[in-house]
Amino acid sequence: MATRSQSSQRWLKEHFSDPYVKKAQAEGMRSRAAYKLEELAERDRLLKPGMVVVDLGAAPGGWSQWVRQELNRLDPSKPGRVIASDILDMPGLAGVDFLHGDFREDAVLSQLLDMLNGDTVDLVLSDMAPNKSGMDAVDQPRAMHLVELAMDFADGHLRTGGSFLIKLFQGAGSDDYLRELRRRYAKVVIRKPAASRKRSPEVYVLATGKLAKMK
């Protein structure tokens, strides 16, 4: 128990001294993760006016918040749409449609499609991660299950030519997952944004140019 307490104290110290945490607090962003997306999106010019964006596993809302602000900045006359979904509840964000529920469930997925109201999806985002147990043999399969679910959603609902950005934990199954993405998209790149902690096995995978047919 003492070890866990020391570990928690170290995490808290690191968290509150983190420059991205301080920046998020100063700028009114919901999470430091917003700056990961900012770097990724700006490097690859990911957002365009009028886009329809679906953010899976959105809570607490840092990614949706940043996307909404950026779409408004790019062209206020073409605000596009941001639809966020999570099994956790999330306080409302102006200009973001939020669906509280598990998109794996048919009823929730049906609600999500109703919210789209026939709009095609230009960009699917997923920063989903499982609750960590601290055991790789448990955590990595859980993480891979989530990224596979997100890929399935993009398979079914992302338009041809659209983009998919996802957090991936490197480990068992991740190489096979990347191979599957390369069958589906014209270009797949791996990024490690500055706001991503160096010790974390997480990387971000950007797949662009969804193909009409898999290779």
Task: Return binding residues for S-adenosyl-L-methionine.
Answer: 61, 63, 86, 102, 127
Q: Which of 36, 78, 132, 167 is catalytic?
A: 167
d(CA 41, CA 47): 7
Kindly report the backbone phi and psi dihedral angles of residue 133, in degrees, each rounded to the nearest multiple of 5, phi listed first.
Answer: -95, -20
Residue 188: CB atoms within 10 Å: 18
Catalytic annotation on 198?
no
Question: What residue numbers does the annotated binding site cover?
Answer: 61, 63, 86, 102, 127
**Nearest to residue 82, comparing CAs of 42, 110, 51, 113?**
51
> Where in the sequence numbering do the catalytic residues fall?
167
